[in-house]
Amino acid sequence: MVSRLKRSAAQKKKILDKARELFWVKGYDKTSIRDIAGACGFEPSNVYNYFSNKEQLLYEILREGLERQISLIADLENDSAHSPVERLRMLIQRNIHHVLGYRRSSGLLFDVGLKNLSPARRKKIIEYRDAYDRIMRKVIRDGVESGDFAEVDDKLAGFAITSIITRSRVWFSSRGRLSADQIADFMFEFVLNGLRSGKTAPDLKTKPR
Amino acid sequence: MVSRLKRSAAQKKKILDKARELFWVKGYDKTSIRDIAGACGFEPSNVYNYFSNKEQLLYEILREGLERQISLIADLENDSAHSPVERLRMLIQRNIHHVLGYRRSSGLLFDVGLKNLSPARRKKIIEYRDAYDRIMRKVIRDGVESGDFAEVDDKLAGFAITSIITRSRVWFSSRGRLSADQIADFMFEFVLNGLRSGKTAPDLKTKPR
Amino acid sequence: MVSRLKRSAAQKKKILDKARELFWVKGYDKTSIRDIAGACGFEPSNVYNYFSNKEQLLYEILREGLERQISLIADLENDSAHSPVERLRMLIQRNIHHVLGYRRSSGLLFDVGLKNLSPARRKKIIEYRDAYDRIMRKVIRDGVESGDFAEVDDKLAGFAITSIITRSRVWFSSRGRLSADQIADFMFEFVLNGLRSGKTAPDLKTKPR
Amino acid sequence: MVSRLKRSAAQKKKILDKARELFWVKGYDKTSIRDIAGACGFEPSNVYNYFSNKEQLLYEILREGLERQISLIADLENDSAHSPVERLRMLIQRNIHHVLGYRRSSGLLFDVGLKNLSPARRKKIIEYRDAYDRIMRKVIRDGVESGDFAEVDDKLAGFAITSIITRSRVWFSSRGRLSADQIADFMFEFVLNGLRSGKTAPDLKTKPR
DNA sequence: TATGAATGAGAGTTCATTCAT
DNA sequence: CATGAATGAACTCTCATTCAT
């Protein structure tokens, strides 16, 4: 029945929420199924009525987080209505807001998480990450072509920007003196300037030791 | 006597080296004392002749890495012989080289590692991190005061720079198209520009939602 | 009403059939209620609408198998119309056919199964086995008395014959070079000769170490 | 040191002995590592200092039992010093004694055990069984060729004999009225007569339905 | 210094079973 | 009749760690 399905879906979500929180606070390995079940208010074995194992829990959390992050900026990949600068601003703003938003975790979990996934699932998650990177790089390349940015290497610049976004979760405190907005503003300016008058792309022909 | 001490020290180093490598590759939790002992060529219990427990191994590795990283840039904190720009260049270059150098690990281990330390040791490690941050921020502040950089918030800017440095370990491949030098050069330029014509520091009086 | 009862009976039979097959292929302990339900095409809890627990399933299968086997040869126990030799031939033939027939299992399951039954049910199953043994021994004794067989110990001889019949299920392959008929013929001859000129019954007075 | 090695070997043997006994009494699946450790007088985890998992325990027990059984009759395979009849007598006697001897189990465990072994180990165990069958059949074939036995099918006859031997463990009671010797004597006579004037081998050309 | 035996805690997972719907 | 949620017990196995030798 509908109510049953709803209940089921709600329980699934609850488990994911508690797991996400615990994974973030204690780490994946240190979080036991018992912990998660306890946080949900039922017995460990019941978790297995919703997820087939701990790894699947991790996978769903990572996937969900990445999907959300991608869908948040997907429209920026090919967007002729806005300038690359404007697209960069939106990309950073939306990302920072997502990362610092109420749904913790999933970001740093990524590095550790990959080690805990089966090859098949690891591959899928990496595909998501690649999709994310693609958008980021496209905006950068468009800015380079339009002359808004300097002749930067889109991969390196992309890594730098992603690094800033990703790690903002680590040092951000919601009770700190700065709001997510302020941080996003600052980071946008910082990155924009970094891109604007940057050195040209590194010479790829020589790789000195 | 001396040789015995030397041998002991050499064993200790060997254990730390293997542990560092394994912690990086498999993660702290997934690395067992058995793994480490196996990599060293002896039995698990022997590890306890050199270290009192697994946590101490983690602590030593984190401490050693941070100490090295700090000592690498300590002279830049108060350095009137060079301009802030020059000091920033050296700071980034040396850090990138350290992070991408042959001694893997300890960088990302940091986040996960903190969770696994006793409060006392966690405090010590955080002190190291603070010392590191202090240097970073001092260079930035000096550049702001000298007018070389814009009026940026030294903490935020420091976080951004540290993020880039820290995560370079994740995406850097020693077999990739770019050398550590090229990456360091690019990142320096990127960061320098980010600092130079950055927006002024966020208005700290209002924290809008 | 009738159709409902019929349907119910059909479901019961289906469960027993799938369980029998699975018990034979995977073993009782390795077969889960989930396995059985899955083979039937419904959910585990539904099994409990037909049987009160797993042990009852086992019991029914064992009982059914033994009942069938006994009913197959019951007429041979006291049969003055045929000679003991002829009765032995029919006994072996019918048993071999039953054991090698399409309904697998229940034979070897016996040994393992006993361990998994409650004392009350174990007792019942043993009673069936005893009834089976009684028929077997009666035929042998009649043959001894009539002079058709040598003075063999009816228990020992019975065990030997039962062993051959029981284990034929293990090594018989329906795709092998021999048919059930051929095997039955051979075994009858083998056993008949074994009984015919056998040594006299062991001297029961002395039991040497 | 020697004493340490001795202790180790003794513990290993103790574990195998207790496991063999328990597997026989309760069955493989119903016997937990806890049971075995408890019978040995130490904690469950210590079992893993001697065996890598439960399956290995099973494998060692099966292997050891089969090896012993084979080595017991290996000399009979090609033995020109004794007549086939005499070789058959020794084969049955030695086997019955082994099977009914103080070292219980491993015999019936075979059928159930195979299901619990990894493919690689299952293959090895089957090789042992085949080696055993080979000896059995060779003695039969030699008897057929020498004219001591009738023209029986060596495979079928072998199965019959093996069945009797294997299952004797099930119904034999050391406190019963018959000694192992008496049983062995009877079975030898029974089998010998079965072979002597047996029907000729089944006609392999036609396999009637 | 190095080892093997032993431990105790705890992990993930499976399973038979119950019960309300 | 059939299901999904939930349980509690149990199981195999891993791990960090200790200790006597």
Is A203 part of any domain? no
pLDDT at residue C95 tops 60 = yes
**Which residues, at least 6 apart from D185, have a Cβ–Cβ distance to it below 8 Å?**
C199, C202, D93
Q: Look at chain B and report how many structural domains it folds into.
A: 2
Among candidates C78, C10, C24, A162, which has minimal Cα distance to B171? A162
Q: Which residue has the higher pLDDT, C101 or A27?
A: A27
pLDDT of residue C176: 81
**Domain range for C136:** 54-195
Please determine, for residue D117, whether its predicted confidence score (pLDDT) is greater than 60. yes
Given D25, D51, D77, the domain boundary residue is: D51
Distance B69 CA to F19 C1' (A): 39
Q: Is the CB of A121 under 7 A from strand E?
A: no
- CB contact under 8 Å between C204 and D26, yes or no, is no
Can you give the C-alpha Rg of chain A in angstroms? 20
- The token duo for C62 is 């064992």
| Phi, psi torsion values for B52, nearest 5 degrees | -80, -25
Residue B202 lies in a domain: no
Does one domain contain both C29 and C80? no
Q: For chain B, what percentages of helix, strand and coil (3-state, to nearest 5) are there? A: 70, 0, 30
Does C113 share its domain with C135? yes
Task: Assess whether D143 and D128 both reside in one domain.
Answer: yes
Q: CA B45 → C1' F20, Å?
A: 13
Asked whether residue D110's C-beta has any atom of DNA/RNA strand E within 7 A, the reply is no
Contacts of D204 in chain C (CB under 8 A): 177-178
- Residue C83 belongs to some domain of the structure: yes
Q: Is the pLDDT of residue A209 over 70?
A: no
pLDDT tens string D122-166:
999 999 999 999 999 999 999 999 999 999 999 999 999 999 998
For residues B65 and B168, membership in a common domain is answered with: yes
CATH number of the domain at C31, please. Answer: 1.10.10.60
CATH value at residue C156 = 1.10.357.10
User: pTM, whole model, 2 decimals?
Assistant: 0.89
Least confident of A17-31, B143-157, C108-122, D125-139: C108-122
D189·C207 Cβ contact <8 A: no
- Count Cβ–Cβ pairs < 8 Å, chain A vs chain B: 136
Per the model's pLDDT, the better-predicted residue between B43 and C4 turns out to be: B43
Confidence check: pLDDT of C2 > 70: no
Chain B: give the shortest CA distance to residue A158, in Å.
11
- Full DSSP string of chain A: -HHHHHHHHHHHHHHHHHHHHHHHHH-TTT--HHHHHHHHTS-HHHHTTT-SSHHHHHHHHHHHHHHHHHHHHGGGTT-TTS-HHHHHHHHHHHHHHHHHSSS--SSTHHHHHHHTS-HHHHHHHHHHHHHHHHHHHHHHHHHHHHTSS-S--HHHHHHHHHHHHHHHHHH--TTSSS-HHHHHHHHHHHHHHHHHTPPPPP-SS----
Same domain, A102 and A187: yes
Cα(B153)–Cα(B140) distance, integer angstroms: 9
Same domain assignment for residues C30 and C108: no
Q: Looking at CA atoms only, how far is residue D194 from chain C in angstroms? A: 4
pLDDT band at A110 (very low <50, low <70, confident <90, very high): confident
- Identify which of C108, C189, C202 has the shortest CB distance to residue D182: C202
Low-confidence ranges of chain B (pLDDT < 50): 199-201, 204-209
**Higher confidence at residue B205 or residue D66?**
D66
Q: Are residues C68 and C35 in the same domain?
A: no
Q: Does B207 reside within a domain?
A: no
How much is the mean pLDDT over chain A? 89
Distance of C1' in F10 from CA in D44, Å: 14
Q: Which positions 17-46 on chain A have a beta carbon less than 7 angstroms from any atom of strand E?
A: 31-35, 44-45
Determine the Cα angle at C159 with ends C154 and C163, to 5°.
150
Q: Which of residues 9-38 of B touch strand E (CB under 7 A)?
A: 11
Which nucleotide across the nucleic acid strands is nearest to C31, CA versus C1'? E15
Total residue length of chain D: 209
Sign of CA dihedral B203, B204, B206, B207: positive
Q: What is the CA B36 to C1' E7 distance in angstroms?
A: 21
Measure Cα distances from A61 to A102, A112, A162, A197 in Å: 14, 13, 19, 39
Handedness of CA A23, A25, A30, A32 (dihedral sign): negative
Residue D206 lies in a domain: no
Q: What's the pLDDT at A8? A: 87
Model pLDDT, residue A172: 84
Q: How many CB atoms lie within 10 A of CB B167?
A: 21
> Burial code of B39-60, b = ≥16 C-beta within 10 A, e = fewer?
bbeeeeeebeebbeebeebbbb
Q: Do B193 and A194 touch (CB under 8 A)?
A: yes
- Is the model's pLDDT at C138 over the cut of 80? yes
C1'-nearest nucleotide to the CA of D43? E7
Residue in C162, C193, C204 closest to D193 by CB: C193
Distance from CA of B137 to the nearest CA of A (A): 15
Best CA proximity match to B133, nearest among B196, B191, B73: B73
Is residue D85 very low, low, confident or very high in pLDDT (cuts 50, 70, 90)?
very high
Average pLDDT estimate for C42-54? 97
Q: Which residue among B111, B152, B190 places its CB closest to the CB of A170?
A: B111
The 3-class SS string of D25-42 reads HHCCCCCCHHHHHHHHCC
Closest-CA residue to C194 (of B64, D197, B131): D197
- pLDDT band, very low/low/confident/very high, at C102 (cuts 50, 70, 90): low
- Is residue D2's pLDDT more than 90? no
Same domain (yes/no): C154, C91 = yes
Q: Which two tokens stand for residue C15?
A: 């469960």
What is the per-residue pLDDT across D167-208, written as a single tens digit (0 to 9) for each? 998 888 777 888 889 999 999 999 999 988 755 445 544 444
- Claim to verify: residue B42 and residue B130 sit in the same structural domain: no
Chain C residues whose beta carbon lies within 8 Å of the beta carbon of residue D187 = 156, 160
Per-residue model confidence (pLDDT) at position B64: 93
User: Is the pLDDT reported for residue C101 higher than 90?
Assistant: no
Q: How do residues B79-120 score in pLDDT, each as one tens digit? A: 999 999 999 999 999 999 998 875 565 556 788 888 999 999
- Which protein residue lies nearest to nucleotide E2, measured between its Cα and the C1' atom? B46
Do B and A count as touching (3 or more CB pairs closer than 8 A)?
A: yes
Chains D and C touch (3+ CB pairs under 8 A): yes
In a domain, D201, yes or no: no
**B89 and B13 within one domain:** no
Residue A201 lies in a domain: no
Same domain, B80 and B40: no
Mean pLDDT is lowest, of A197-201, C140-144, D80-84, D137-141, for: A197-201
Torsion angle defined by CA atoms of residues B95, B99, B105 and B106, in that order, rounded to the nearest 10 degrees: 10
Structure-token pair, residue B143: 């550049």
| Model pLDDT, residue C202 | 53
Identify whether residues C47 and C64 lie together within a single domain. no
Distance CA B60, CA B49 (A): 15
Q: Which residue, of A33, A51, A69, is where some domain finishes?
A: A51
Please answer whether residues D34 and D48 qualify as being in contact, where contact means their C-beta atoms are separated by less than 8 angstroms: no
Q: How far apart are CA A113 and CA B170, in angstroms?
A: 13
Q: Nearest-CA residue of chain C relative to D191?
A: C194
Minimum Cα–Cα distance from C152: chain D residue: D186
- Distance (Å, whole) CA A168 – CA B158: 11
Q: How far is the CA of B28 from the C1' of F17 (A)?
A: 17
Q: Examine the fold and report which residue of A51, A73, A92 is the final residue of a domain before the chain moves on.
A: A51
From the list D168, D177, D186, which residue is nearest C199 (CB)?
A: D186
